[in-house]
Structure 1
Amino acid sequence: MLSLPRSRSLLAAAAIVATVATAGSLTYSLGLGLTPCELCWYQRILMYPLVAVLAYAYYTADTGIYRLVLPFCVGGAALAAYQSYLQVVAGGTCTFGGCAAVYIRPVTIPNQSLIAFCLIGLCTLGLAVRTRRDRT
């Protein structure tokens, strides 16, 4: 039998991370006036829907949602890792706009995005393992 409290905890954690990441990106652009570069926009496109999807999954206890969430996390993490790589190679600048040069202590914005996508991915991967284990 599926352990709903633990599965729901993973869903809640992933939803909270997605919400904080979304609120953070909006704060950077709307509150601090930082213009997102092209890669940041793509990462936002992959992050923003996760708030609603994970909140819905938490509310309905839908443990199969990992099938939808994991591809978003892989794509977002790949973009964020590429942008972080550009930051290191280009000496702290981003060829797509400049947001990678902005340090919000102690890490840059692309690094924060990478951390968020990885945390959400780990939560949903844990959910996938738990769901598959409970089926057998």
Structure 2
Amino acid sequence: MKSNEFKDGFNYWLYLAWLMAILATFGSLYLSEILGWTPCKLCWFQRIFMYPLTVLLGIACFRNDRQIALYVLPLSIVGGLISAYHYAEQHIQALQNQTFCGQGVSCSQKYFEAFGFITIPFLAFIAFACISLFVTIDYRNDKKQSGSRRNKL
């Protein structure tokens, strides 16, 4: 066994995606359960797409399942689109009058804003985008390694 074989076969990208999902999941739970911030309807939809990613990516890491991108990408892309829309609704006046959220907490309400542009939906979008990027890189690296292994045989 070569000294770099373990290093090359270890899927850092998959673990980074899992870490990002864990941080986003526990971050959202902290905001709602510890700080008492009530999530709006769009926040709930983002949670619906983020929470399964934590479980799926965790299982994929333990099983070294590099094909998980096929299951994770649809969830992370749709979740990212929802968070992008939510962010736009917070910052574009014309979208703030939409009745999508209905009763309850307004989707355009900003509980948190840093540097004039970083809000909770922005952080969710970054998390979904990073997860999508990390699993895509891991999937492509696996395909390259599979191809090079076949060529050596």
Change (3 A) 1:24 1:94: farther
Give 2:106's aligned residue: 98
Give 2:125's aligned residue: 114
Whether 1:48 and 2:51 are equivalent positions in the alignment is yes
Looking at structure 1, the residues matched to 106 and 29 of structure 2 have their Cα atoms a distance apart, in angstroms, of: 17
TM-score (norm 2): 0.79
| Count of residue correspondences | 134
Misfit runs of 4+, over 6 Å = none
Give how far 1:131 is off.
2.0
Looking at structure 1, the residues matched to 126 and 134 of structure 2 have their Cα atoms a distance apart, in angstroms, of: 12
Identity %: 33
1:62-93 deviation per Cα after TM superposition (whole angstroms, max 9, x unaligned): 000000000011000000000111111138x6
Gap regions ≥5 residues in structure 2: 148-153
Give how far 1:104 is off.
4.7
1:109 counterpart letter in structure 2: I
Looking at structure 2, the residues matched to 126 and 34 of structure 1 have their Cα atoms a distance apart, in angstroms, of: 35
Whether 1:28 and 2:31 are equivalent positions in the alignment is yes
For the aligned residue pairs, the C-alpha RMSD in angstroms reads 2.2
Whether 1:18 and 2:18 are equivalent positions in the alignment is no
TM-score (norm 1): 0.88
Change (3 A) 1:94 1:115: farther
Looking at structure 2, the residues matched to 66 and 134 of structure 1 have their Cα atoms a distance apart, in angstroms, of: 16
Gap regions ≥5 residues in structure 1: none
* SS in structure 2 at match of 1:101: coil
Contact 1:18–1:48 (CA under 8 A) maintained in structure 2: yes
